[in-house]
Each structure stands twice: as structure tokens, then as C-alpha cells.
Structure 1
């Protein structure tokens, strides 16, 4: 199945380049361009509220603090950004001409900025922290703000209000018993999986991306023991796999395991899409996303299954901690890791929406996160083992070798990061992976300007990116 990006643009001017790709509505003084999931349509008359995660009218069932919404009135647009900011909203304005636009997909910039009388240009820095994006003049709205642009006395004016950051409430965690803290987190996870199932049509099948680790293993165990019809899928790469470890848990649960065998070219060809849906080029972020992107792009998991992942657990449970001297150091590491995701887009819903699939990250539900952030460093790291509390609780449910298996990061488990690094160095003669990912973004941007918002030929994009890097890189030493 080819992806079709879903997005919304709210502006006070016409954007002719968007007209052929979306439903266009003139709502009072505003123009709205919307391409949502099949069967969704925006109301004909404002006011109404759009849920940015689903790009459908808000149902009212989500926590307003933890969901990003766009409210459209005849003479105003109000964007409320969630505290976790998983799904981005971008903003650009030409103040001299009084024109602005809010949009939910960074690759729309070449079609939106000209309508505002603004140029399309990359930032000078690779990371692109000028305004939180890789494009000049385009801002990614930060977490927890309310931005309102309204028509007043013949002018469009914008004001921005900040709100309390809930991460600030967890500088002194109090759950200090490993077993109790682990059990509390498992209870919260089980409740989240039940919530997901309650909102899923009866008879729907489930899938998990199962490695040998405790995170995806916990989600798989809880889903299976809750009676959900779940099929685990485990990814193997040419550089390694965790199939035997995954099979061990499946045997314990009495369920089958589906192996997904990716070739090197499968993974490399997924780089343009990973960059496309993320809109960033930081190597760690892109490479963590490559497995899920490959699975999605190749249709390795049937589209009618709801996919449950273990993503996010490393961040909230100190799974990738650095050596520390004081408990406050680890608390800061965890909070900083969560904070970074508010700009990385790694937990956004953009790719699943494009493919028409449903993906949930139970560890990233706020009730689960809250329990984890309330857990003390002494529970999370003990005797040299990370996620000690979670492993302690899971060891009451699965054999100890499964619960206490050595941690391997998602992009390391199949040797993926090292394999990708070697391939990129061979292709470009450079060790700068970020330059390759940035060049992919540039290639994508050029195609988006021509109306190609989904990468139809990933190899053409990748090869174009390689040429760009080769053109500026010094020759490799022999």
C-alpha cells in the first residue's frame, strides 16, 4: 500500500498549490486545506476543533492537556499544543503583509511559504534549531503553549500563552520500592491496553514488534494474557536478530512468532521515508525509526492489525542511562530524554495516518509515564541493571532469564545502526550520517515543491542524497 500523507493547513490567504491535494474551505476570514483519513470531513461551519493526532474533528474523549488541537472560528485560529507535543504543528508568518499559516506537515512548506510571500530555504545548521525545524522562517510550536491568531480592528494579531510543564512535577520521585513501582507500572500498562481494546472494533487482531527486550516483551505479555488476539513480529536484519529470544517468550505464552527478514537494501531504502515522516535529520532519531519505517513501508504487518509497541520505555525507565554520580543526575537524564521527544517527532502519528494503520505506544500513555516518572533512580538502576523495577515485577510472570535479559537498544538489536553506518560510509566516502539524512530532506523538499509529498521512488531520493554528500565531502583516505 502506497502512503498518502494526511495534513491540515489553516491560513488567512489562498494557497493555490494546495488546492488539488486537499479539500479547501473558506471559513469566515480563514482558508482551511484538509486531507484527512478516509471517511473524515471537517464541519462546514465554524467553530470546530481538529484533533492533530487523528486529523479528524475532536471527539472530546482525549485529555486536553495531552492532546494537540486546532480550534477554528470565523475570525480566529487557536492552537493548543499538548505537554508531550508528539504531533507537530508548524507556523510561518509574513508580518509585513499580515499573512500567516499553521500547518501539520513540514513537507508542505514549499507549497505554503510562497503563498505567504516567503522564500523556501534550509537553515544553515544541520540540526536546524533556529526555530525547531530545518527550514528558515518555519517554527515548530513548542509544548504546552496556546497560540491564538485573530482578526482585530483590521489586523491579524497573534498572542501566545504558556502553561505549566507537568515534567516539572517529577524532580523528586517517591516510588522507592522496586517491586511496588514495577507492579504499579504494569497495572497502568494493562489499563492502557484495555483502553485501547475498548476503542477498537470487536474482532480486530493485534500485533507487536517483539525483540528480545523487556519493553516489547512486557507489552506482548500483557496483551496476550489479557486475551487479545495478538501476533508478535520480530525483525531480523543481515547484521543480526533477536529471533531466538523473542521465540522464548512466545513459547512461554503459547503463541506463534512471525519473523520479518529485512535485507540491507530494505533498510537503506527506508531512510528517505523515515526522514520524510520525522522532518528531522539527527542520526539517533532517524535510525531508531528505521525498523518501524521498514516494517510499515513493506507491509510486513497486515494493515488491519492494531500494532502495539514498546517504544518510550527506555526514555521513562532509564533504559539507556549514562553513568551518574548522584540520583539527581539520573532524574535529570530521564526528564531530559522525555523533553527531547517533544521536538523529535519520533512518537508522532504521521506515518500510521499515511498508511491507514493504527499504532499505539502503551508506555507513552500519560498514566503509565506518570508512574514511571514517580519512580526513584534507586529503583530504576540497581546492581548495574537498568529498568530494575520493571524486570523485578516481570520476573513474577515470566522466567528470570527472560525478565533479566541484557538490554539492547532498538536500533542496535539487529546490528542495524552499525550496518547502516558502514553502508552510508561506503556510499558517500563520509562518516557524517547526519549529512546524508539532511541531504535526503533536501531531496524530499525539492520533490514536495513539485507536489510529490510522498516519496514514490526511495532509491532516486537516496541516490540524489548520496550525490549531494559526495559533492561536498573531502575524498576518503585510502
Structure 2
């Protein structure tokens, strides 16, 4: 009965503090390539307050005396029973040896949150100082279940956060990049100390790689090493996928994966507002591999808005619209769940692919660093959605070794003769034909036709041009559902229609 209904079943295990969550999904739709999966959010909460509304949602809980842990992690992953232990915020599993990830270190008498320099995966913090209560948590939609336990009201804040650590929920802060915050019980009181580590982004205001070909070759070498690292950590026999457009970024990742001998399948997205199927097929023909087209309808893309807002945890219009394609592909199962997805996301940021006209080289350097800084607060490259679906996604351009090479490259190498990513195109021009390396990309994922099409549809539905109001209304609706313990995506059209009605009635 549970399997037929798709209900959640909670079973008591042999240990009273542990619970198992079993999710059953309805039959897959005809277009789905992989197994149909219902997304189940994964998260961790560390607090000194009692959270009665959260316990039944966790797969594992631990009462450490004054400190309590609530955890819903990936299938097959369990926290150690006895502290101290450390949780990687990106994977909600033990951290990798490189130590570069954001982590929560849980000890019997305290918790330490260490946020990476790139800060892709957020750590949220709320505190009621008058009552000495606090909570660290990894999913903003947990706020309605956490804040009341701290003696704080749940208040949705419309519009953009007032400061870089702000969120759409009052009294909830996002810990900033390159910071360490420790809360520990000392002398019968909870004391918090916080400090900033060196922000490595500031080291790249004087880039020194000034030979376009050499800089491009260095970046290709770093990318190839990152792809090899991903493959070395994957189980034997793992298949790979790429989201291949006609641009140089996804084309480079696809080329390097194929040339490394990985079993890679490129998927190219077509929407009613444009596609790059012919351009993508041209590279596949040179590589001797097949291309899988993914045709998305307008309704499928629009229906992904609530879930996109849910995984981002924000409502910035451009960020939401950039993420819509990836969300739709994931939501519809267009890429099989057992294939590791490699994307070209992040290259525009570090390689000046979205540059504005500049009068001085320092202007472009600042544009690049500002773009990276904004992205480490936008959640668009976080691991929250793949975790919920049980899939694996990597963004090779957003790995630190690749970013370092890109940020060390001078503006004169990145932008030349009216072309962006000149250094990357120059290096790839030695490997693929000239049209592929130097093609001007039609922006499908990062705006252009898709963004305009979404804007027109929402204006038609609401009668106003303020599409961000729709995204904010979606978040408010998600927040209301979360207060009832419904943390995961429901009927997208129900959520979206509720948001549209709210905007229409303003």
C-alpha cells in the first residue's frame, strides 16, 4: 500500500534514537530514461534546543546531553554513534582528506562550523542570546521547525537580503566564506567565538599568466586532472554524462572526458526558445560519440520554478533562471541517475565569459572576482539538489585547481579581438576544428531565449513584469509547507499557481 501511494514510512530500528526512511515512487513517466526517483532533502541540524517537530523527519538523531543532532543523510550513510565526528556539508558524509570542504565538527561539548573559501554549500545559523539557544543547520527550509524551538518567530523577508550573510528568513544567517565559528559549553554557559580565515580570492588581483596559448593549455591540464580525480573516486564501471551546448565550456569538458576514455554520453537541451543541437552534434561527430537530445517543453520548464527556488533557497531572478535548465533535466530524469554528470558551469565566472565592456584591465579583474564572490553566496553550484535525488554532479571549472589557473590569467588573454575566453579557445583550437573552438554561443542556459521566454510567460500569467515577485511568492509558499513538516517538493503546479495568484492580487 505504501509503495502504491508513494507514502513515507517510518520504521523504528533496534536503537531507539535511529529511524529508517523508505521512499516509494509512482511508476515512471514514458519519457524518463532512468529510474523514477522522488527527491528527499538531506540535511543536518546541530542545536542545544529540543526540536520535537523535526525528530520524525530525521533518519538518525543523537542526544549528546546538552547538544542534539538531527540528521537525514544519503542512503547507506550513518553518523558515528559517539562524538567527536565531522560531517562534510556538501555530501553529509565524512569529509575527504583534502580538507577543502565546508564541515561541521561535532564534539560532546560543542560544534565547530568551518566554511570553505568557495562556500558552495551553505551553513545557516540562528541564535536566541537571551535564552542561550542556538542551531546550525544546512537547509534554509528547516527554519520554520528550528526557530520556534529557539524561541524565535518565523518571519519571511521579501526582497534581497540586507547584507551578505542575510537570508530570506529573519534571524537566520548564512555563515560567510572562509570563516570558522565555534560554539562550546564552558562553565555552564554556551560561548561562541568566530574568526575569518584568509580569503584566497584576494590573492588574484595581479594575474601573471600573460601568454594566451600557455594559459589555455594550463587550464586544460588542470581540467583533465580534475576529471581524472573524479573518475578515480567513482566506482568501477561508472558512466558519465555532460550537458553539452554549442559553447566552449561544456564542449571542453565533453572533449576531455571522451579523450580520457571515459564512457561519456553528451545530452543537449532544446527548449521552445532555442537550441544548440546542431552545434553540439558537430563536436560529437569529431569525437565519434552519439548525442542525446533533450526536448523540454515550456510547461516543463515553468513547472520547475518552485523546485528551483527550493534548492537555491533564494529568489534572485537571474540565478533562478540560470538554474531552471539543470533543475528541469534533474526533475524529469532526462539524465540517468547512475551517470555522473559533468557540467561546464563556472567557466563564465572565472574566464570572463559574461564580461561587460571595460576601459582598464583592473575593471575586468574586478568583474571576475566579483562574479566569483556573488556565486559563492548564490547556491547555484551547491550539491543540495543532487543529494536529494541521489545523483552525482561535478563542476570541473569550479574546482580550486582549475579556478586558480583561470584567476592567474590576465585580462588580455581572456578577452581579445572582441572574443571572450580567448585563451581557452586558442588551446582548444589545437584539438578541435575552428568552428567549434571559435563559435559564438547562443545563450540558452544563461539567459537569452530561455530567460526571455520565462519572463514573457510569467508576465502573461500575472500581468506584471516583476518575475522575481513570483519567485519570492514560491519561497513563501515553500516556507509555509515546511512549517507543516513538508520539506520536499510537492505538486509543482499547485505551488506555482498559489504564487501566481498572490502576485496577481497585489
TM-score (norm 2): 0.91
Q: 1:51 aligns with which of 83, 88, 94?
A: 88
Correspondence 1:235-274 to 2 at 5 A? 235-274=269-308
Q: Tell me if structure 1 keeps the 8 A contact 2:275–2:444.
A: no
Correspondence 1:312-331 to 2 at 5 A? 312-331=346-365
- Separation in 2, partners of 1:411, 1:207: 17
RMSD value, Cα = 1.1
Match of 2:337 in 1: 303
Offset, 1:461: 0.5
Q: Tell me if structure 2 keeps the 8 A contact 1:242–1:414.
A: no
SS of 2:147's partner is helix
Offset, 1:410: 4.8
SS of 1:354's partner is helix
Q: Does 1:387 align with 2:424?
A: no
Q: Does 1:9 align with 2:23?
A: no
Q: Tell me if structure 2 keeps the 8 A contact 1:127–1:280.
A: no
Q: Tell me if structure 2 keeps the 8 A contact 1:241–1:414.
A: no
Q: Tell me if structure 1 keeps the 8 A contact 2:321–2:446.
A: no
- Separation in 2, partners of 1:10, 1:289: 29
Q: Tell me if structure 2 keeps the 8 A contact 1:209–1:216.
A: yes
Offset, 1:29: 2.0
Q: Does 1:98 align with 2:132?
A: yes
Offset, 1:469: 0.7
Offset, 1:37: 0.1
SS of 1:96's partner is coil
Match of 1:81 in 2: 115
Q: 2:57 aligns with which of 21, 33, 54?
A: 21
TM-score (norm 1): 0.97
Match of 2:229 in 1: 195
Pick closer, same or farther for the CA change 1:365–1:57 going to 2, 3 Å.
Answer: same
Q: Tell me if structure 1 keeps the 8 A contact 2:455–2:465.
A: yes
Q: Does 1:333 align with 2:370?
A: no
Q: Does 1:35 align with 2:69?
A: no
Match of 2:12 in 1: none
Offset, 1:337: 0.3
- Separation in 2, partners of 1:443, 1:97: 30
Correspondence 1:386-425 to 2 at 5 A? 386-412=420-446, 415-425=449-459
Correspondence 1:57-456 to 2 at 5 A? 57-58=94-95, 60-62=96-98, 64=99, 66-127=100-161, 129=163, 131-412=165-446, 415-456=449-490
Offset, 1:342: 1.5
SS of 2:182's partner is strand
- Separation in 1, partners of 2:164, 2:385: 25
Offset, 1:128: 5.2
Pick closer, same or farther for the CA change 1:461–1:212 going to 2, 3 Å.
Answer: same
Query: C-alpha deviations, 1:352-390, integer Å up to 9, x for none?
Result: 000000000000110000000000000000001000000
Q: Tell me if structure 2 keeps the 8 A contact 1:80–1:146.
A: yes
* Contiguous gaps of at least 5 residues in structure 1: 473-478
Match of 1:470 in 2: 504
Offset, 1:127: 4.4
Query: C-alpha deviations, 1:170-228, integer Å up to 9, x for none?
Result: 00000000000000000000000000000011111100000000000000000000000
Offset, 1:412: 4.7
SS of 2:53's partner is helix
Offset, 1:131: 3.9
Query: C-alpha deviations, 1:399-419, integer Å up to 9, x for none?
Result: 010000113445357721011
Query: C-alpha deviations, 1:2-43, integer Å up to 9, x for none?
Result: 100000000001101111110211124210000000001111
Pick closer, same or farther for the CA change 1:315–1:409 going to 2, 3 Å.
Answer: farther
- Separation in 1, partners of 2:42, 2:437: 39
Q: Tell me if structure 2 keeps the 8 A contact 1:123–1:130.
A: no
* Contiguous gaps of at least 5 residues in structure 2: 1-36
